[in-house]
């Protein structure tokens, strides 16, 4: 593949990557990062806030590109993409100076020392982003990476290259050093070449299959990796739930963005005592749904997964009901079907029943994935108790996808086959940093030889035994007696060897 000309604006490099050029690009980013890391966090944040201004002023252009390339409905392009991206820029830039500030960390065993924990940048970070949210996901990670002091190379999905180029272009007025932020276009071969160039960390959002390949490639060096790999998330309807609310939430949760969301409702778990009433409402709403609101399949290959899962359901004799763009599947044995156990990533949902909260928790947790979940109950305290038993990174009560990736304040991520690491929030920002301890002496403390240095002797043993007792024993009398022994042993040691 040939390279397009570099953008003339300072701080940006635009490359339709040839695999052989990747090493040079990473080296250039590393050189730029060294200077950028010396810029105070507050100044970095002030510069990067201009990307948020660009999101607002170019809102219509961004929405148009997303819709042309990805097929999103306008309301979703605005809310999920532009809204989420603006929130990420504003929250990250406002909070980074506080969250990345050095913290004092007193050590009980060393009262004469004054350690401080700093959050330092990693170096060069590679962001490999998906096609289903081609603006908000990479932009949030880029802002976090840059404000933390890193260089960032973005490889957008080959299915959304224009959106990826637009994301990088939004930083044109931020005053970034040349080569600090780079756009690298290409398919999986380019992603592999980026890993081979040994960046300091890789942030991948995509399928479980590809995520395993990314993790294996990174393990060779090793390179730390953050993986967001999707899910087969569940919406739980308890026997006391508001069925009107729950059925509307289930329909939207299963079909927003064409069902092509890692937080989509792919499993609907309903208490058997209300399943008939719930399903009546859900089917009626599905019949009235305008298919154009659901949105198209953004990547043609994904429709093959939909077809395979529907074929498996039919083969098993399950009830497959199609309502325009939506398919609902239920029946005996649905828990063993592909549509229930594997991520469909489309407007298809499997319905299973349970009886009571214990059964609901068991049914929910019977999966390798663990990203998001929803619980509907008239008793919010009951719903919270159930939520705490669910293997998921985020749980909404009487709402669906309320904690989705669009909210910059909240850490986003899951467990198991949903991946590990976090985006957004304090945890997500710190994913782009490394803790470094700077340990210095407290002022005015004389330079005595440390009691645990050579030569070892009996006084030393007594002193350390006494100190351990003072620090760790919960019995007041023993601590008091040990304090006297400590002073006696220390005085004896100083008489024999008072200085260095």
C-beta contacts of 16-21 below 8 A and 24+ residues apart: 16/185, 16/186, 17/155, 17/184, 17/185, 17/186, 17/190, 17/193, 19/186, 19/189, 19/190, 19/193
Strands 181-185 and 12-16: parallel
User: How far is 361 from 419, CA to CA, in rounded Å?
Assistant: 21
Collapsing DSSP to helix, strand or coil, 494 comes out as helix
Alpha helices in 71-148, H assignment, sequence order: 74-76, 84-99, 136-147
Given the residues 69, 228, 343, 431, select the one marked as catalytic: 228
Q: Distances from the Cα of 26 to the Cαs of 32, 204, 288, 356, in angstroms?
A: 10, 17, 52, 54
| Contact predicate 415/365, CB 8 Å | no
Give me the DSSP letters along 405-441.
Answer: TT-TTS-B--EETTEES-BSHHHHHHTTEEEEEEEEE
Q: At what angle do helices 59-70 and 161-169 cross, to 10 degrees?
A: 160
| Contact predicate 352/267, CB 8 Å | yes
Concerning whether 218 is annotated as a catalytic residue, the answer is: no
User: How far is 344 from 305, CA to CA, in rounded Å?
Assistant: 6
Given the residues 238, 262, 431, 462, select the one marked as catalytic: 262
Residues 6+ apart with CB under 8 A from 115: 104, 105, 106, 107, 437, 438, 439, 440
Residue 223, H or E segment: none
User: How far is 26 from 191, CA to CA, in rounded Å?
Assistant: 13
Concerning whether 228 is annotated as a catalytic residue, the answer is: yes
Closest Cα partner for 4 from 192, 150, 161, 195?
Answer: 161
Residue 12, H or E segment: strand 12-16
Sign of CA dihedral 405, 411, 416, 419: positive
User: 416 - beta bridge partners?
Assistant: 369
* 417 preceded by a cis bond (ω within 30 of 0): no
**Which residues does the annotation mark as catalytic?**
228, 262
């Amino acid at each position: 593949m040939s390279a397009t000309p570099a953008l003339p604006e300072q701080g940006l490099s635009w490359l339709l990557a040839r695999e052989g050029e990747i090493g040079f690009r990473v080296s250039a980013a590393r050189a730029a990062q060294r200077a950028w890391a010396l810029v105070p966090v507050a100044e970095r944040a002030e510069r990067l806030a201009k990307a948020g201004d660009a999101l607002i002023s170019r809102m219509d252009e961004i929405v148009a590109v997303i819709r042309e390339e990805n097929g999103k409905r306008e309301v979703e392009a605005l809310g999920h993409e532009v809204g989420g991206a603006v929130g990420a820029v504003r929250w990250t830039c406002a909070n980074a100076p506080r969250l990345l500030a050095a913290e004092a960390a007193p050590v009980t065993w060393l009262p004469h020392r004054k350690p401080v924990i700093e959050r330092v940048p990693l170096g060069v970070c590679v962001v490999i982003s998906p096609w289903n949210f081609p603006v908000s996901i990479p932009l949030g990670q880029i802002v976090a990476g840059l404000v933390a002091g890193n260089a960032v190379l973005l490889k957008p999905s080959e299915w959304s290259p224009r959106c990826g180029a637009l994301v990088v272009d939004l930083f044109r007025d931020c005053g970034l050093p040349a080569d600090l932020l780079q756009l690298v276009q290409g398919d999986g071969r380019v992603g592999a070449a980026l890993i081979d160039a040994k960046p300091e960390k890789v942030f991948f959002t995509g399928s479980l299959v590809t995520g395993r390949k990314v993790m294996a490639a990174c393990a060779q060096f090793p390179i730390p990796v953050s993986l967001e790999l999707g899910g087969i998330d569940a919406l739980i309807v308890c026997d006391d739930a508001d069925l009107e609310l729950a059925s509307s939430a289930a329909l939207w949760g299963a079909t927003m963005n064409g069902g092509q969301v890692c937080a989509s409702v792919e499993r609907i778990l309903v208490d058997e005592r209300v399943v008939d009433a719930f399903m009546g409402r859900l089917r009626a709403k599905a019949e009235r749904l305008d298919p154009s609101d659901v949105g198209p399949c953004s990547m043609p290959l994904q429709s093959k997964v939909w077809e395979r899962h529907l074929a498996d359901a039919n083969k098993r004799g399950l009830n497959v009901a199609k309502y325009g763009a939506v398919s609902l599947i239920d029946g005996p044995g649905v828990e063993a079907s592909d549509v229930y156990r594997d991520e469909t990533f489309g407007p298809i949902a499997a319905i299973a029943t349970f009886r009571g909260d214990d059964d609901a928790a068991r049914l929910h947790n019977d999966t390798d994935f663990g990203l998001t979940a929803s619980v509907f109950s008239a008793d919010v305290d009951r719903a919270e108790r159930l939520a705490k038993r669910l293997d998921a990174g985020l749980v909404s009560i009487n709402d669906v996808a309320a904690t989705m990736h669009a909210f910059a304040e909240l850490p986003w991520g899951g467990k198991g086959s949903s991946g590990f690491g976090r985006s957004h929030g304090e945890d997500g920002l710190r994913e782009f940093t490394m803790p470094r301890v700077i340990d210095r002496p407290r002022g005015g403390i004389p330079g005595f030889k440390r009691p645990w240095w050579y030569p070892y002797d009996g006084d030393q043993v007594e002193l350390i035994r006494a100190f351990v007792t003072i620090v760790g024993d919960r019995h007041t009398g023993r601590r008091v007696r040990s304090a006297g022994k400590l002073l006696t042993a220390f005085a004896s040691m100083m008489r024999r060897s008072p200085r260095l």
